[in-house]
Structure 1
Amino acid sequence: MERRKFLGALSLAGVAGALSPKELLAGGPQQPAVSAPAGNDREYWWQLLYKIADPVVANLAAGTLVKNMPVEKSPTFDKRSAHVTYLEAVGRTYAGIAPWLALTDDVGREGEYRQRMRTNAVKGLVACFTPGSADALNFKTDYQPIVDAAYLAQTFLRAPKVLWEPLPADTKTHIITAFKSLRNRKPFNSNWLLFGSLTEAFLLSVGEEPDAERLEKGITKMAEWYKGDGWYGDGPNLAFDYYNSFVIHPMLVDTLAVLARHQPERKKEYDLAVKRMQRYALEQERMISPEGTFPPIGRSITYRTGAFQALSQIALMELLPKGIEPAQVRSALTLVKKNMYGAKGTFGKDNWLNLGFVGHDPQIADYYTSTGSLYMATLSFLPLGLPAGNPFWAAPAAEWSAKKAWAGKNFEKDYHVDY
C-alpha cells in the first residue's frame, strides 16, 4: 500500500558547487512568476510552492536566514523564545517540499527550478546543523523543537535519497544528536506525542536505537483517543479543528510505515491507520465549497492550506477513497490555493508569508504563532511528488463533490464508517 518510491541520489559535488550568494537567494529573475497558463495546474502549483518556500531555503543555503527572515509575532505571543521561529520555518518548509524534490527527472523549466531548490535544500541543512554557523538551529532549549524535529524527520522519510543520503557524515551525526537531545523533554499529552513517535521512528529507520517508550506512546494514545469516522481526539477530547490533518493522520501513518518495515506483524496497524486517513481525506474533499473555500474553524488557521495535508498525502500515496478521482482533488485544491494565495497581503516583502488566513490579519494568529509557524502551508503541495504524467496531473479538470452537489448533479452518497 505504501506508494512512495523515491529514486535517485544527489551528488555532493552538486551541493558543493559554488553558487554565489546572489544566485542562492530568492528574488530577481530567479523567482518564477506564478502565472501558469489556464488549465496547467501543475505549473501553477510548483511555481506557487517555489514562491512560498524559496525565501526559507535559499536564505538558509546562503547563511542569511536569521539575518533576512522577518519575524512577525501574534499580538498574544507568549513568553517562549522567538528564536524557535527559524526552526519552525525550516522543519515545516522542508516537510512540504520533500516529495517534489524527490523527483529527479530534472528536465524543462520545472526541473531546473526543482534542481536548484534541491541543491539549496541540502546546502542549507549542512549550514543549519554546523555548530557556530549564523543559522545554527536550537534544539537544546524550549519545547518547540520537539515539534519541528518531527517535521524534519518527516522530511527525511519522504525524500531519503535526496535530502538524507547526500548529507556529509558529520551533518548526519549532528542531526541524530540533536534529535536524541530532545529526550530530556516530554511531549505534552496531545498530538505532540506523535512528534516524539515520528522522530524516534526516523532514528530507527537510519539504524539508531530508538527510545521505545517515546516511539510507542503516540501510537498507543492515538488508538485510545480514536473517536470514529476518521477522527482522532487531540488528547482525550475531540478538537474540531485541522490537527487531524496538520499532525495526527500523516505522522501516525508515517510512524507505522517505518514500524511495519521493521516488524511485519504491525502491518495491520498501518493498514488500519491508512483506512482511517482515507476516510478523513474523503471528508476533507467534501469540505471544499463550490467556490474553492473551506471553513476557518479551530486553532492554527494561519497555517492556511496546511489544513489539507491529509488529503494531499493520500493523493500522493495514490490511495484516494473510492468515488474520489485524483483530478477532482487537484481541481478543488487549485481553486483553494488561488483564492488564498492570490489575496492581497498574504505575502510580504521578498515573498515572506504574513500572519493571517486570507491576506494579512495578525489578530487571528494564536499565541504560539510567528512567521516561521506559517510554513505549514507547504504541506498541501505533497502531490507534486507525483510525476507530471500521473492521472492526478494529466487527467482533465473535474468537479469535486460540493461543486457537483450544489449544481444539482449526481454525486456520491456519504456514510459514516465503523473502523
Structure 2
Amino acid sequence: MKLETKEDYRQLMFQLLDPLKPLYSNGCARLHLGDSGVTYPAVSMEMEAFSRPLWALVPLWLGGGKGYEEIYVNGLKNGTDPLHGEYWGGFNDYDQRFVEMAAIASGLIFTPEKLWEPLEDREKDNLAKWLYGINEHIIPDCNWQFFMILVNVALQKLGYPYSKEKLLSGLDKIESYYIGDGWYRDGGSSQKDYYISFAMHYYGLLYSVAMEEEDPKRCREFRERAKIFARDFIYWFDENGAALPFGRSLSYRFGEAAFWSAYLFAGLDDISPGVVKGILSRHLNWWLDQKIFDRDGVLTIGYAYPNLIMAERYNAPGSPYWGMKTLLCLGLPDSHPFWSAKAEPLPSLDNIKLLKQADMLMHRIGSDVIAYPAGVCEKYGHGHVPEKYSKFAYSTRFGFSVARSQIVLHENAPDSSLAFVIDGDDYVFVRKYSDQYEVLEDRVISSWHPFPGIEVTTTIVPQEYGHLRIHEIVSQYDCTAYDCGFAVKKFAEEYEQKAAGTAALVSNREQCCQVTGEGPCATGFVIESDPNTNVLYPNAAIPSVSYRIKKGETIRIETQVKSSIR
C-alpha cells in the first residue's frame, strides 16, 4: 500500500477500522469481536474493543480528519451512564477497564471538541466520575501508572475533580523505573520488551505534549530520554520493515512501531522525518502482507497469522487494536515535514551492537536482524515466558516458536534452545531464565539450569554468517541434549531438510539454517515441530544436533549455527 501522504495514512486507518462498524452495539458502547476467552469478563472485553480504536481516531480528529464521532460520543455517554443497559460498570482492583481509560483520556486531552463538548452536563458528570474510579482502586506497579496519570491530566484540564496526589505518586513511580541510557524497567519486571517503547516512552511523550506548560522540566526529560532510546531501538527493525518478534504482547503487531509516531508527535527530529517515515511505512506494509485479518477484515489474535497458542492470557478479541497507537502520526499538522519527506532507508548501523540496558546483543546478517538476549525474564508470567524471552536467538526473518506442550520434542518446538530429555522421560527442559549473565561487546554468557541437577554455562558468540554456541554442562542424570537452530518454514518452494553426521540443515527458497556440532556423540537431527508453534508461519522444521550427556561428567559441546536469507 502506498503510504506517502497524510491521506494515504488516513485510508489505512479506515481500512483497519471500517470492518468494525457493523459490530458496535446499539448504544455504541460495546464491541463484540469474538468468543475466545480471557482473564476478564465480557463487559471489559467489549469495552476494550470499543476503546482501542481511539488510539487512531483521536489523532485523526486532531489532524483535521473526520469519522466515527457520533459512534464515540454515544458510546461514551451510554457506557458511563449507570442507568443505561450498556453501562461499563464499576471497578475491581487491577481492573482491565483502567487500561482502556488511557485512550479515552487522550481523546479528552487532545480533542475535547469531539468527545467532551458534545456531551450534556449530566453526561459529562457521569464520564468524569467513571474515570475518577481509577484513583479509588489498586493498579499494578508498572506501566499502568501512566493510565492513572493520563486520566488525572484529562480531568484536571477539563476542570473536574482529579487526584493531584495520585498524579504525582504515579509520576514518581515512573521516575523510579528509569534505569538510564534511555531505558526503563516496566515496574518490577526485569525483562525489556516492547512495553518500554509502546508504553513507557509512548505515554511519556504524550504527557510531554499535554503538560508542556504545567510541567516543563519533566516533559523535557521524557523527550530527552526518548531521543537516547531511539538510537538503540532502531536496531530492532530490519530493512524490509519487520520488527524483532521478541517478548510478550506480540498480538499488538504493528504496535511495535508506535514509538516512532510518538517520537514525531513530541517534536523529536534527531532521527530525520524521512528515516522515521521509512520505518513506519515499511513496517505497516510488512504487516499488511501478513495473514492478520479474518474474512471480515477484523484483526485476529496471533502474530503473522491467527494463533491462539502463542497468545497471552490477557489477549481478548479486541486486544490487537492496541496497534492503532502507531497511527498517532495522523495527529501531525499538514505542514509537518513527515508528510512531505520521502521514505528513506535505515541509516548505517553497526553489524553487531551491544544494547546494554536491554541485556542483549543485536546482529545484522544481510536483511535479517538477530537478537541474542541474556535470558532475563520473570519466572512466572502471562504465558510462554521462556519461549518469548529466553531462547538464545530471535530473528525478524525466522521468528521463534512457542511450545504446544513440554512433552516430546515436536510439541515443545525448542528452536534456538538447548533442550534436555532425561533418559526414561518424555519431558523437554530448556532455559527458562538465567541465574547469572553477562552481555559483552562480542558475546553473551549465561548460567542457567533447565532442571534441578543440570547446570549449564552458555556462551553465544556472533559470527559473520551466524553464531557459535559453547555449552559447559554438568548433569546428575544421563540425558540427551538437542542444540536447535532456527525454525524454517515448511511446505515452501524448494523445501529441503537433511541430517547427516554431525550436522543438520533445513532450507527453502528464501531461508536456510544449518547447525553443526562438536561434542560427545554429536548427531544431526531434524525436529518436525507441531503446526502453529512458530509465530511467523504455521508449519516449520528445526535443524538440531543431539549430544549424549553422561551423569557426573563435565561436558563441553560446541554448535555452529549458520543462517541465511535468500
Q: TM-score surpassing 0.5? A: yes
Please tell me whether the aligned partners of residues 327 and 393 of structure 1 are also in contact (alpha carbons under 8 angstroms). Answer: no
Any idea what SS the aligned residue of 1:227 has? strand
Any idea what SS the aligned residue of 2:68 has? helix
What CA distance in whole angstroms lies between the structure 1 residues aligned with 2:157 and 2:21?
25
Counterpart for residue 332 of structure 1: 279
Counterpart for residue 86 of structure 1: 46
Any idea what SS the aligned residue of 2:296 has? helix
Q: Give the partner amino acid of 1:96.
A: A
Counterpart for residue 198 of structure 2: 246
Q: TM-score, normalised by structure 1?
A: 0.76
- 1:158 corresponds, among 102, 107, 110, to 110
Counterpart for residue 485 of structure 2: none
Structure number with higher helix proportion:
1
Check 1:155–1:364 CA distance in 2 against 1; reply closer, same or farther (3 A cut).
Answer: farther
What CA distance in whole angstroms lies between the structure 2 residues aligned with 1:402 and 1:360?
35
What CA distance in whole angstroms lies between the structure 1 residues aligned with 2:3 and 2:133?
48
Structure number with higher strand proportion:
2
Q: Is 1:372 the counterpart of 2:318 in the alignment?
A: yes
Check 1:317–1:58 CA distance in 2 against 1; reply closer, same or farther (3 A cut).
Answer: farther
Provide Cα deviations, 1:306-333, integer angstroms capped at 9, x if missing partner: 222222111123313x2x2112211221
Which residues of structure 1 form unaligned runs of 5+? 1-35, 105-113, 409-419
- Please tell me whether Structure 1 or Structure 2 has the larger radius of gyration of its CA atoms: 2
Please tell me whether the aligned partners of residues 226 and 232 of structure 1 are also in contact (alpha carbons under 8 angstroms). Answer: yes
Please tell me whether the aligned partners of residues 32 and 49 of structure 2 are also in contact (alpha carbons under 8 angstroms). Answer: no
Q: What's the Cα RMSD here?
A: 2.8
Counterpart for residue 76 of structure 2: 125
- 2:143 corresponds, among 186, 191, 200, to 191
Q: CA deviation at 1:358?
A: 1.5
Q: CA deviation at 1:293?
A: 0.7
Please tell me whether the aligned partners of residues 84 and 144 of structure 1 are also in contact (alpha carbons under 8 angstroms). Answer: yes
Name which of structure 1's ranges 270-279 and 389-398 shifts more when overlaid on structure 2: 389-398
Counterpart for residue 278 of structure 1: 227
Counterpart for residue 317 of structure 1: 266
Q: Give the partner amino acid of 1:314.
A: Y
Counterpart for residue 302 of structure 1: 251
Please tell me whether the aligned partners of residues 53 and 321 of structure 2 are also in contact (alpha carbons under 8 angstroms). Answer: yes
Check 1:400–1:188 CA distance in 2 against 1; reply closer, same or farther (3 A cut).
Answer: same
Which residues of structure 2 form unaligned runs of 5+? 352-363, 367-566
Any idea what SS the aligned residue of 1:116 has? coil
Q: Is 1:219 the counterpart of 2:179 in the alignment?
A: no
Q: Give the partner amino acid of 2:149.
A: S
- 1:288 corresponds, among 231, 237, 261, to 237
Provide Cα deviations, 1:147-189, integer angstroms capped at 9, x if missing partner: 1112211222232333333333232211101012233311111
Please tell me whether the aligned partners of residues 232 and 244 of structure 1 are also in contact (alpha carbons under 8 angstroms). Answer: yes
Structure with greater contact order relative to length (CA < 8 Å, sep ≥ 6)? 1
- 2:297 corresponds, among 351, 371, 380, to 351
Q: CA deviation at 1:389?
A: 4.5
Q: Give the partner amino acid of 1:385.
A: G
Please tell me whether the aligned partners of residues 145 and 170 of structure 2 are also in contact (alpha carbons under 8 angstroms). Answer: yes
Q: Is 1:383 the counterpart of 2:329 in the alignment?
A: yes
Q: What is the aligned length?
A: 353
Check 1:403–1:330 CA distance in 2 against 1; reply closer, same or farther (3 A cut).
Answer: farther
Q: CA deviation at 1:103?
A: 2.6
Q: Is 1:51 the counterpart of 2:33 in the alignment?
A: no
Check 1:247–1:139 CA distance in 2 against 1; reply closer, same or farther (3 A cut).
Answer: farther
Q: Give the partner amino acid of 1:70.
A: G
Q: CA deviation at 1:209?
A: 3.0
What CA distance in whole angstroms lies between the structure 1 residues aligned with 2:247 and 2:51?
23
